[in-house]
Structure 1
Amino acid sequence: MSLILVIGNKNYSSWSLRGWLALELAGVPYEEVLVSLYGPESRQRLLQHSPSGKVPVLKCEDGVIWDSLAIAEYLAERFPEAHLWPRGQAARALARSVCAEMHSGFVALRSHMPMDLRRDQALARVPAEVEADIARICALWQECRERFAQDGDFLFGHASIADAFFAPVAARLRSYRVALPAEAAAYVETIYRWPAFQRWYQAGLQETEVLG
């Protein structure tokens, strides 16, 4: 059985982007199935693929994997030669820590700045809790870059699962025109220069469905 990744709208679905980038990092063939998240039959269609009714979902000979972090871990274990996690025990521990924080945190940022690749407009007012989330994200990025900048432009030098998890954040910060420290702004540029992200981004711009 070939790998099948079920995703939602590329313009809006940040979690789908994370799973998709992890598959791109693995560098293996896969089939992509896109399910609109906002149609009258979306829930029913998603449940045909996912026990949680959410995306992304990876279908493989080992079964169905329906969480973005679980998908990333599965791919890292199945394709170790792709080095989806950074090289080195300490680097992998830090990468897993920042991904876990992204996976479970930053609720204010998610709520007030949902991913919308077609957007190019700042919020009229940025709530204090969102500013706190952004400051924490910039601090995480700075820590990674200070330790691993000598190895390349991504968080851990080479592109990894950590970048897959923070790419939607970089997109939010660009879409909402957030003023950033120089190091964070440079990292956002790195994400936008990433060929895999660019392919997703261009596809998202071409979508016509509008949320709400």
Structure 2
Amino acid sequence: MAIDSKRILVTDDERNIVDIIAGMLARSGYTTLKAYSGEECLSIARAERPDLIFLDIMMERMDGWEVARIIKNDPAIKDIPIIMVTAKPLTFEDVRDRSVLIENYIMKPVSAATLKQALEEVFTARTRIERTLEMARKSGVAAEIINAYRDRYEKLHTQAQRNKKLLTLMSQLYPEDKLKASPASRNMLMSLKKGLESQEEELRRLEKILTTPAQ
């Protein structure tokens, strides 16, 4: 999907923040939708099905976490990725208990470079499965082979993305100077890295099987 066909919903109860982010996205070629409350975000998300939602955490009446939880519990819109926009870093508890709700988070004030990087990371991850399976079909891989490996590949990909997201969030939460003072956090990050490396290796093996037609 081309950049200019992707629609991004920007949600913040500060209108100037919405306008700033939407302007940056528009200049990068994205189509933008705007919401100024949690309730409006949910209404637009259900009506328009955007490709991604930028969601402020600190909002009146309904905060970003509540909105994200409702989205992920709604079968019609639960697959829309969410990137949180926040004026303060996430806590360890946020990462531990709520990371399943979001793909990433970015800090205010938001820069165009930060927006671009966050979007590229999410959209690249989202298209990996579709790209691999399409390559398998175009390469002439037998349908029974694709069907045999598809569920395993999709499940492993989901697990790897979950670990990658946790690793990203934990790395932001614990920069190098904090890790030196927290052996437990350092060990947790090392364990995540090793697990992710193993999953990525298995994903590459499955991708080779799926994209190499039988001789």
What TM-score bracket applies, with the shorter chain setting the length?
Answer: 0.3 to 0.5
TM-score, reference length from structure 2: 0.34
TM-score, reference length from structure 1: 0.34
Higher helix share goes to which structure? 2
Q: Which has the larger radius of gyration?
A: 2
Higher relative contact order (CA 8 A, sep 6+): 1
